[in-house]
Amino acid sequence: MSAPARNASASVVSSWARPSRRTVERGLSILSPLVLLAIWEAGAIVGVVDTRFFPAPSTIFAALATLLQAGELQEHLLISLERIAVGFVLGAVPGIVLGLAIGLLPLVRAIVQPLVDATFPIPKIALLPMVIMLFGIGEGSKYAIIAIAVVFLVLINTEAGVRNIERIYLDVGRNYGASRLMFFTDIALPGALPMIMAGLKLGMGVALIIIVSAEFVGARNGIGYLIWNSWNTFQVDRMYAGLMVIALLGFASALLLAALERVLVPWRSAVRI
Amino acid sequence: MWGKASILKEGHSLAPYSASVSVASAARPKVRIRGLRKVFRVRQRAVEALATVDLDVGSGEFVAIVGPSGCGKTTLLRILAGLETASDGEFSVERAAGRDLPLNSMVFQEQSIFPWMSVRDNVAFGLKARGVARRARYEAVLPMIRAIGLEGFEDALPHQLSGGMKQRVSLARAFANDPEILLMDEPFAALDEQTKLVMQAELLRIWEGASGRPGESATRKTVVYVTHSIDEAIVLADRVVVLSARPGRIKDQVDIAAIYARPRDVAAVRSSAPYGELFARIWRELRTEIAA
Instruction: Indicate the average pLDDT of chain B.
Output: 85
Confidence class of residue B10 from pLDDT cuts 50, 70 and 90?
A: very low
Residues of chain B with C-beta less than 8 angstroms from the C-beta of A271 = 159
Mean pLDDT of A83-101: 96
pLDDT of residue B27: 61
Instruction: Indicate the average pLDDT of chain A.
Output: 89
pLDDT of residue A18: 72
CB contact under 8 A, A186 and B83: no
Q: ipTM of this predicted complex?
A: 0.85
CB B227 within 8 A of CB B218: no
Look up residue A120 and give its DSSP letter. T
CB contact under 8 A, A176 and B177: yes
Q: Is the pLDDT of residue A14 over 60?
A: no
Per residue in A16-27, pLDDT (tens digit) is 567 788 888 888
Residues of chain B with C-beta less than 8 angstroms from the C-beta of A168 = 108, 110-112
pLDDT of residue A273: 37
CB contact under 8 A, B108 and A171: yes
CATH number of the domain located at residue range(s) B4-291 in this protein: 3.40.50.300
pLDDT of residue B269: 93
CB contact under 8 A, A187 and B110: no
Q: Is the pLDDT of residue B2 over 90?
A: no
Residues of chain A with C-beta less than 8 angstroms from the C-beta of B110 = 168
Least confident of A136-150, A259-273, B87-101, B263-277: A259-273
Per residue in B24-62, pLDDT (tens digit) is 444 678 999 999 999 988 888 888 888 899 999 998 899
Mean pLDDT of B79-99: 89
To test the contact with chain A by mutation, choose from B114, B157, B159 the residue with the greatest count of A C-beta atoms within 10 A, namely B114
Per residue in B233-261, pLDDT (tens digit) is 999 999 999 998 888 889 899 999 999 98
Query: Please, is B48 exposed, middle or buried when counting C-beta atoms within 10 Å of its C-beta (0-12, 13-18, 19+)?
Result: middle
Per residue in A153-184, pLDDT (tens digit) is 999 999 999 999 999 999 999 999 999 999 99
Mean pLDDT of A208-232: 93
CB contact under 8 A, A176 and B125: yes
Per residue in B122-174, pLDDT (tens digit) is 999 999 999 999 999 999 999 999 988 899 999 999 999 998 999 999 999 99
CB contact under 8 A, A175 and B110: no
Q: How far apart are CA A196 and CA A163, in angstroms?
A: 12
% of residues, chain B, pLDDT over 70: 87
Q: Is the pLDDT of residue B218 over 60?
A: no
pLDDT of residue B210: 54
Cβ-Cβ contacts under 8 Å between A and B: the total is 62
State the nearest Cα–Cα gap between B141 and chain A, in angstroms.
Answer: 15
pLDDT of residue B19: 35
pLDDT of residue B151: 92
Domain ranges of chain B: 4-291
Mean pLDDT of A78-101: 96
Global confidence as pTM: 0.81
